[in-house]
Structure 1
Amino acid sequence: MEFDAVLIAPRRAQSVAQGLWHDRTINDDLDACVAACPDKLALTAVQAESEVTTRFTYRELAAMADRVAVGLTRLGVGRNDVVACQLPNWWQFTITYLACSRIGAVMNPLMHIFRERELSFMLKHGEAKVLIVPKLFRGFDFEQMVTALQPSLPELQHIVVVGGASANSFEAMLSGPAWENDADARDILARHRPGPDDVTQLIYTSGTTGEPKGVMHTANTTMANIIPYAGRLRLGADDVVLMASPMAHQTGFMYGLMMPIMLRASAVLLDIWEPLKAIKLIRAEGATFTMASTPFLTDLSKNVAESGKTIPTLRTFLCAGAPIPGPLVEQARRVLGTKIVSAWGMTENGAVTLIDLDDDDERAFTTDGYPLPGVELKAVDVDGATLPAGQAGKLLVRSCSNFGGYLKRQQLNSTDADGWFDTGDLASIDAQGYIRITGRSKDVIIRGGENVPVVEIEALLYRHPAIAMAAIVAYPDERLGERACAVVVPKPGQSIDLPTLVDFLKSQKVAVQYIPERLIVRDAMPSTPSGKIQKFKLRDMLREDKA
């Protein structure tokens, strides 16, 4: 694979000179852990359904990473080859990334909710050579799905199955044989290590184009975010990081997989969010920090209050992905005794703004934080002029953690010659530099921290024989932040109801989380003179419940 990460080279010299890029990779940090604390517990991975717990010390983690790295080369994986991984928060996910990093391969994390439609595009666009999936997870047969897809994916040479019993199982192909003892293993591991500006992660995000975009990150761009992030949160080697947010999201990947290794801390992974199990895990493992979206905080607060099982070790809960209601912050502080930190970020940058630990609790529900070191922000009007404090406009970011570009889509990089990236969001910035996201110019709904690709789902609805016009808009939800509502105009003489719409989208192999949960049928859409649907009017009607 040839990666066109064109946004890296122009800012390298300045980023290094300013001390914002550290010119190291996760390999360097893992090796440092092995040298300094080889027998420290590095990783605890819990499978909620089977209740199986797997643990690794740093010595064991590095040894398994080496083993799987050599195993991947036996499958033909080399430098800049893409290894796609559609796993929940299992230890094999962490090991796969570390193994890829050992040999200069690129990890492509894929959400486990993705089905044929999303996967077929991403795997083809990213030219994945190897795909790692669970055999079964939450009752779904992933092996069956991807095996049926493979003939349409000419670059995909191997499917590796975790939990399978066949010859293509993860254990048989990667983690079982002692590949690291082969005669050429040391040479392979020494010769193929990537540099800090090589692409190390390819992660897809949905936007307004109707198709996912492949975000390219390097060690320098990810670590330039993680280091100041951990600094502001005062995280260090004594911390235990609980990660129940999917590691196929940047939240889980950067702060649940990479950050603990960089800090020489311990990570605890939970694959299915079950509040009572999370409480038990926090108490048993002494978790001190976690990051997740608002529904996780709601569930945790509610269940601690109801169960009476306190979690005194959990000092900090960073909540991002949607605004945090004020009453929730107050409840969480009272029930959990935990500092609630608000933040805002993107797949393209990682976390960009955070409040301080010493800030008043009110900051958590009235702002989305202020920039991390190495980050500049400005709100501009439609002509690009910087707006005064407190006035909302288009939010631009210039950051040391800005991505390398969108794979094969340089025209969509949204970054000008001066390095300013158009986030697609609207925000105001107060006199102290704290931001508040006020809306999104991107047509994306965030449901429980998961971006819903609105344009793509709308395009599918237009294929339904009974639908003449369709629009998907957000409506507020106390737990998830937002849910999706489909507003449709039927064709003359036709009718449509929600069960029919849901069945149709399921037949198109759409992820369940992307399917609208409400339907409104109208005779006409509010529109501009040119015929463009005025979604703000639909949102207003939903908010007023007058639709």
Structure 2
Amino acid sequence: MDHSYLSSKESLDIPYITFPDLLRKWAEKNPNKTAFIFVDEEVDRYELSFGELYDKATKFAKALIGHGVRKGDVIALNGRNLPEWLIACFGIQLAGGSPLCLPYLQKKNDFVKVCSKLGRVKMLIIDPGSDGQNCQFLKEMICTDFGTNNVELPEIPDLRQVFLFNHHASLPSVNTVAELCSREWDVDLPRLDPEDLGLILLTSGTTNTPKAVPYSHHALVITAYNSIHLMKTSGKYDSLYNNRPFYWIGGFVMWEVNSGGSRVTLINAMKSSSMATAAAAVKTCEIIAREKVTVALLVPSMLDLVMKKNISLRLKTIVTGGMIVHSSLLKNIHKLCDEFICMYASTELALIACNTFTEKDITNTTKGLLSCRPLPGIEIKVTEDDGFLLPAGQRGSIQVRSTRRFNGYLNQNLPPESKETLERTGWFCPDDGGYVTEDGELVVEGRLQEIIQVFGWKKMFPFEIENVIKTKSNVSSAIVMSLKDKETGDLPPFAAIVYHPNDEESCESMQDYIRKEFNITTENRMLEYLCVPRGIVSFKQFPVLANGKPNRRAIRQIILETVDSEKYE
């Protein structure tokens, strides 16, 4: 391959329908089939069938219309992975509205910031929380007559009503999802079009303010069909373990609603999503075995723990993604599954690329990062900063174009140049860097804004240093990021490390270890400026965002407070 351009030669026969049409198909075809299995913290389980979900969602949709919801309204939805979340989400869609998926336990300022910029947010449907945490959130945030559910919030003037997932003693008069979908409403549901706005997802906000990403109904259907293509599964024989929150693109209910298969999920997904501990890994594997799961979505850190601790796990397929995946993960993966699928996705474009690995691939893939290929309907290219195509093998900016076009955010403008390119050509830059291999596969190396470079010399992505740091047995987690040298413009590395309890080491000791691993000597001293963090800050645990991901802005600020603020920014 000469140039860094990839496209899929496959195509899918995707119907032009709305997203609730997928659910209705299974509710009519196999109403008693279990659609979801919810597992709580005590590992007790609760089931929800396709028929029950569609019936309650339809009743809830009519209740929303009875409470004044009209086609095109945006309804904020905040909660854990519960049946009420699904009933509310599909109910909003059937009523002609658009669910705005908010992270569970979101802070007031973030909620106000998102909703005030979006406008037309008419209602909030919220999980009170396992201990009523969100009830206090409501009382502090909204001047409400909880007897009538009427709301007055100056920063969000369109917000008029609040409903809870279920009753809580501190707000006894507030209506709940269960109550509303148990009543009969003499109203008609609106006619929906596949191009209607069907969902609003938020980006993680890992490095900036979360951005609102719109999905039409048809865009959701496309993603649902790609999910089946990616996992090579059918709902008749397969079940999926996915404990990602419903409000993430990686956790939204795509595969199960399209395939008719069963999904196993944790109710309090965020409690374990950011905690890759041995106890969490054991619990996950026990649930997968008990529920006879055939496909599991597991993050690399969880898989690493399962293999290191020799925790019993065996199933047909494991899917991973959402972060950089090193090929060393393949070394023992054949002991856990028959097929290992690595995927690349973004909130803006959903599923972008994937690759399937089996035991025979272990000897062929031993170094670097795992690669992937575009999914049907996807084009990928790697370009220079000025947008021109790079030769294969050269690092650059990843650009993506999809038949399901992303036209911009609802609450934030793209930079003028990016906006013009997107509108004119359809190419979108997810702000990721990587390269195309000679074999025609994409390697994603990291975020462009986190790149490391000194003396205008070779560029380096943080994962290369992070992987070295993580090889030390006393390291639980590591994040490497660059800070800008105000005088030279260089972007040298700095590291944040979480050590295992009572096993911390000095900055100098870790720097010496990194020098040794990169084989830095007096003959190649330039490498030290590129590979060895100039400062290392230890954490008991990383601060996290509402979605469970490390709060890189907070981590960056803490690092800045420990270095010379006159020199770096």
Shorter-chain TM-score category?
0.7 to 0.9
Matches within 5 A, 1:118-137: 118-127=110-119, 128-137=121-130
- CA 1:171–1:509 in structure 2 vs 1: closer, same or farther (change >3 Å)? closer
Q: Which residue in the other structure is 1:493 paired with?
A: none
Deviation, structure 1 residue 333:
2.8
Distance in 2 separating the partners of 1:476 and 1:213: 26
Corresponding pairs, count: 459
Q: Which residue in the other structure is 2:290 paired with?
A: 284
Q: Deviations over 1:125-167 (max 9, x none)?
A: 2332222332234x57112113322234322222222343359
Matches within 5 A, 1:154-193: 154-165=157-168, 172-177=175-180, 179=182, 181-184=184-187, 187-188=188-189, 192-193=190-191
Distance in 2 separating the partners of 1:278 and 1:153: 40
SS state at 1:290 partner: strand
Q: Which residue in the other structure is 2:56 paired with?
A: 64
Task: Give 2:34's match in structure 1, choosing from 23, 36, 41.
Answer: 41
Distance in 2 separating the partners of 1:473 and 1:246: 32
Distance in 1 separating the partners of 2:499 and 2:376: 32
Task: Give 1:398's match in structure 2, choosing from 398, 401, 420.
Answer: 401
Distance in 1 separating the partners of 2:290 and 2:394: 47
Task: Give 2:23's match in structure 1, choosing from 23, 26, 30.
Answer: 30
Deviation, structure 1 residue 477:
6.3
For the pair 1:425 / 2:432, whether they are aligned, the reply is yes
Check conservation: 1:147, 1:159, Cα contact below 8 A: no
Distance in 1 separating the partners of 2:409 and 2:288: 37
Partner amino acid, structure 2, of 1:279 = C
Distance in 2 separating the partners of 1:474 and 1:164: 48
Q: Deviations over 1:270-324 (max 9, x none)?
A: 1343333322221222111122432232344456x24xxx443x32221112222
Partner amino acid, structure 1, of 2:283 = K
SS state at 1:114 partner: coil
Check conservation: 1:70, 1:179, Cα contact below 8 A: no
- CA 1:217–1:240 in structure 2 vs 1: closer, same or farther (change >3 Å)? same
Partner amino acid, structure 2, of 1:275 = A
Check conservation: 2:57, 2:181, Cα contact below 8 A: no
For the pair 1:216 / 2:214, whether they are aligned, the reply is yes
- CA 1:363–1:79 in structure 2 vs 1: closer, same or farther (change >3 Å)? farther
For the pair 1:262 / 2:258, whether they are aligned, the reply is yes
For the pair 1:250 / 2:252, whether they are aligned, the reply is no
Higher helix share: 1
Deviation, structure 1 residue 524:
4.8
Check conservation: 1:215, 1:404, Cα contact below 8 A: no
Matches within 5 A, 1:101-500: 101-112=93-104, 114-127=106-119, 128-137=121-130, 141-150=133-142, 151=153, 152-165=155-168, 172-177=175-180, 179=182, 181-184=184-187, 187-188=188-189, 192-206=190-204, 210-237=208-235, 238-253=237-252, 257-270=253-266, 271-272=268-269, 273=272, 274-302=280-308, 305-306=310-311, 310-312=312-314, 314-334=315-335, 336-357=336-357, 360-361=361-362, 366-412=369-415, 414=419, 415-442=422-449, 475=495
Deviation, structure 1 residue 525:
5.4
Q: Which residue in the other structure is 1:77 paired with?
A: 69
Structure 1 range deviating more: 211-220 or 145-154? 145-154
Q: Which residue in the other structure is 1:100 paired with?
A: 92
Deviation, structure 1 residue 252:
0.1
Q: Deviations over 1:43-88 (max 9, x none)?
A: 111222x544321222111111112222222332221212222212
Q: Deviations over 1:490-533 (max 9, x none)?
A: xxxxxxx9999x99x99x99989424296362235556xxxxx4
Distance in 2 separating the partners of 1:402 and 1:168: 43
SS state at 1:229 partner: helix
SS state at 2:341 partner: strand
Distance in 1 separating the partners of 2:170 and 2:69: 18
Distance in 2 separating the partners of 1:421 and 1:269: 32
Check conservation: 1:344, 1:352, Cα contact below 8 A: yes
For the pair 1:519 / 2:562, whether they are aligned, the reply is no
Deviation, structure 1 residue 107:
1.0
Q: Which runs of 5+ in 1 are unaligned?
A: 1-17, 459-470, 481-496, 528-532, 534-547
Distance in 2 separating the partners of 1:327 and 1:479: 22
Structure 1 range deviating more: 111-120 or 231-240? 111-120
- CA 1:478–1:263 in structure 2 vs 1: closer, same or farther (change >3 Å)? farther
Q: Which residue in the other structure is 1:483 paired with?
A: none
Check conservation: 1:43, 1:268, Cα contact below 8 A: yes
Distance in 1 separating the partners of 2:192 and 2:492: 43
TM-score normalized with structure 1 length: 0.73
Distance in 2 separating the partners of 1:177 and 1:130: 14
Distance in 2 separating the partners of 1:524 and 1:168: 48
Partner amino acid, structure 2, of 1:523 = D
Q: Deviations over 1:245-264 (max 9, x none)?
A: 122111001xxx12211011
Q: Deviations over 1:462-490 (max 9, x none)?
A: xxxxxxxxx9977476999xxxxxxxxxx
Distance in 2 separating the partners of 1:363 and 1:499: 33
- CA 1:286–1:525 in structure 2 vs 1: closer, same or farther (change >3 Å)? farther
* CA RMSD after TM alignment: 3.9
Check conservation: 2:496, 2:537, Cα contact below 8 A: no
SS state at 1:154 partner: coil
- CA 1:164–1:368 in structure 2 vs 1: closer, same or farther (change >3 Å)? farther
Q: Which residue in the other structure is 1:544 paired with?
A: none
- CA 1:54–1:417 in structure 2 vs 1: closer, same or farther (change >3 Å)? same
Check conservation: 1:163, 1:170, Cα contact below 8 A: no
Distance in 2 separating the partners of 1:396 and 1:347: 14
Deviation, structure 1 residue 379:
0.6
Distance in 1 separating the partners of 2:212 and 2:548: 19
Check conservation: 2:227, 2:351, Cα contact below 8 A: yes
Partner amino acid, structure 1, of 2:255 = M
Check conservation: 1:44, 1:267, Cα contact below 8 A: yes
Distance in 1 separating the partners of 2:365 and 2:214: 32
Q: Deviations over 1:385-407 (max 9, x none)?
A: 11111111111111123434211
Check conservation: 1:160, 1:170, Cα contact below 8 A: no
- CA 1:511–1:60 in structure 2 vs 1: closer, same or farther (change >3 Å)? closer
Distance in 2 separating the partners of 1:86 and 1:266: 23
Partner amino acid, structure 1, of 2:98 = V
